[in-house]
A and B are shown apart, each in its own frame.
Chain A
């Protein structure tokens, strides 16, 4: 169902896109994501859950809805909530048996009791049943299907440079970018969404100011995939990757809204309040007709206002808190015909009621005694708290601490050149001011202006509830939607002794799904803290590794640039019908092909010719070095095992090189060109390394006053005659005098 036009909406009305989903035809609008188009068509079951194959809908609409994953032609695991709709798309839900509507594997939900936490560890414990389990898992697990015949796709890579990189285009990120640019810094501002604005949904004057600022380059539809040493951040766009080197990085990545845990909190129609706001403001898709809001912060009441403005009925607000600030409550007073919206403070939803077919929510039951019955609704919105999107900060080596005032982890000590602002920094109210502070400091860090002192007031009330979790004897209160983990799964894991955050993660698989725990790690940590009597700060977090979102293989795959070196005799070999073989980067002739003669025969004939008469070997691939200086002979004697002081000018000598421990590392031939001038060869593969190592000894000057070591250009050809028919001699084509004598 579409709402009337919303200010700043992302869709283009009138531009209809036709597509198919699960064999049925639908229409969306240009600017829709797959999920928003389906939701606007009244389709609320977008996928099936990983383990129990339960029907799932939209949770975040912010690229974390891993249950709404689709196969689009040969492209597997397309995220419906973040992928733009394209006309003609042919979509099916992944991880279903027969169809999304009627998934045969949903029966697994009834056997939940036989699928305990740590199931794999337990199932694979004995060897006897291993083959049976393996066969079963191969069929039932995994998500999309890989099309091995999919055409190879190449995406360009480019290098980027800037003074200040701002990650996140919400109010704090935009303020930071402006502050840094105004001080003279060259700024790049990236945001993973199609438009800047973050949670303001474009309702801010910062947007126009950013667009008017020439020193800010804006990259939308782009996410920072990770933080690597010295401010090296890969920026992933739909068809390109930019390796951005910044002099300072501002992390303004915001926070993920966190779900509450109650029975059936995964039914289609139960979603985060921010997801409903996105549906309304971006795509004008009606999240539901009549909703119940589960609240625990001021954001909930702002969302209620927006819902009412969009014409959505709010049946009730259930607040986990017992005391609610008056300023927040005032939003409820005039918002409904026939009286204010009922508010149940200090209560919680204990259960969402499913429709008969289990594919939608039809009501909620609450803790509060006054409401013995259900509240009927077709949507439940959760606004109970946030978790910082701090992956980049962790990767940069930031020390985090748990702040009890906002019930989240905030940066305690940032590495040099890394800054944080906004929600990820624990600032929810004065986000623009916090951004200005960080932007000014980052610019100053790069030598532009001085860091401005901006006062950022502390939060009055915590935007996050410390315990948004409600137990239920019948379970199905999901804590991790990727991995289908219920509250009791984690409690059991802790009871079985996996009572450390790292152990619990690995045993229970919490946070290891495609969204990497963006909506489950915080609640899991709270459960662990409560069960072990520790504080969240003591429990700590696991490390969020790159990448922030999955990156297509085509973005990562590069082209191999393999140099190929040829000796000056290459054309001569070619004329002699050489068959080539690679020796490192060098091309060397393996043998010369003769018509009617096999490879082995050719090699035999050649070997025989050298044995009996004469042959020339192309040794142009060898490393060729020169050393000059009064102590050149002494230098060589340090690295080669033979004596060279007595070698006569014009003579050569075989040379074996050892390292300090006496291990042979190279060999070659040393020729004396003058008293203070030697020419010597190294092996083909050792050429670069030996030159480098000799240079080091020369730099270190331990033994020798001054020598100069030079590398003869690889283009200089050399050949050696072999066999009884020729005098054993070495030739250097240009300047080398004929050398006589033995080695």
Chain B
């Protein structure tokens, strides 16, 4: 089983974590056109590569950011969200 490092609780097995999707900039709901909003809501890029994702350590309900290489299945870095995305 894979191991992921929670920024608060350290390395734990992957079954303790939940995936929260790729972190993508949200367009301003008040200003966005329907097309822009629909693109944000429905379209995802499936191309492999290094992605920034939301992950949650479920027993402690800790949300954090993981940088994951989906092509090689390697978790490169995890850190707490600091409002920089």
Contact = CB atoms under 8 A, between A and B. Distances in A.
Same assembly = yes
Contacts of B10: none
A230 B61 contact: no
A696 B2 contact: no
Contacts of B73: 229
Interface in A677-724: 688, 691-692, 695-696, 699-702
Contacts of B81: 699-700
A660 interface: yes
B41 A696 contact: no
Most buried by B among A232, A688, A699: A699
Contact of A695 (B26, B41, B61, B83): B61
A700 B3 CA distance: 24
Interface residues of A, number: 15
Contacts of B61: 691-692, 695
Contacts of A230: 1-3
Interface in A257-299: none
B2 A699 contact: no
B41 A692 contact: no
B20 A696 contact: yes
Given A230-B3, A702-B26, A692 B56 contact: yes
Contact of B63 (A232, A695, A702): A695
Contacts of A702: 26
Contact of A699 (B40, B58, B63): B63
A130 interface: no
Interface in B1-41: 1-3, 18, 20, 26, 40-41
B64 to A, nearest CB: 8
Given A692-B58, A695-B63, A701-B83, A661 B42 contact: yes
Interface string A208-234: 000000000000000000001110100
A68 to B, nearest CB: 36
Nearest to B26: A702
A696 B42 contact: no
Nearest to B2: A229
Nearest to A688: B58
A692 B18 contact: yes
Interface in A358-407: none
Contacts of A701: 83
Interface string B61-79: 1010000000001000000
Contacts of A700: 63, 81
Nearest to A696: B63
A228 B63 contact: no
Contacts of B26: 702
A558 to B, nearest CB: 14
Contacts of B20: 696
A228 B1 contact: yes
A226 to B, nearest CB: 12
Interface in A643-692: 660-661, 688, 691-692
A664 to B, nearest CB: 15
A520 B9 CA distance: 48
Contact of B56 (A228, A229, A232, A696): A696
Nearest to B73: A229
Nearest to B1: A232
A648 to B, nearest CB: 28
B40 to A, nearest CB: 8
Nearest to A701: B83
Contact of B41 (A228, A229, A660, A688): A660
A692 B63 CA distance: 9
A696 B23 CA distance: 11
Nearest to B14: A229
Contacts of A232: 1-2
A702 B81 CA distance: 12
A701 B84 CA distance: 11
Contacts of A229: 1-3, 73
A278 B83 CA distance: 65
Interface in A227-261: 228-230, 232
B48 to A, nearest CB: 15
A688 B56 CA distance: 12
A661 B63 CA distance: 22
Nearest to A691: B61
A692 B3 CA distance: 21
A691 B18 CA distance: 13
Most buried by A among B42, B58, B63, B83: B63
Nearest to A230: B3
A701 to B, nearest CB: 6
Contact of A696 (B1, B54, B83): B54
B34 to A, nearest CB: 12
Contacts of A699: 63, 81
A700 B85 CA distance: 9
A685 B5 CA distance: 28
Contacts of B42: 661
A525 B54 CA distance: 45
Contacts of B83: 701
Please give me the 6 A-B residue pairs with the lowest Cβ-Cβ distance, nearest first.
A229-B2, A699-B63, A661-B41, A230-B3, A696-B63, A660-B41
17 contacts: A228-B1, A229-B2, A229-B3, A230-B1, A230-B2, A230-B3, A232-B1, A661-B41, A661-B42, A691-B61, A692-B18, A695-B56, A695-B61, A696-B54, A699-B81, A700-B81, A702-B26
Interface of B: 1-3, 18, 20, 26, 40-42, 54, 56, 58, 61, 63, 73, 81, 83
Given A229-B2, A232-B1, 5 more contacts: A230-B2, A230-B3, A661-B42, A696-B56, A701-B83
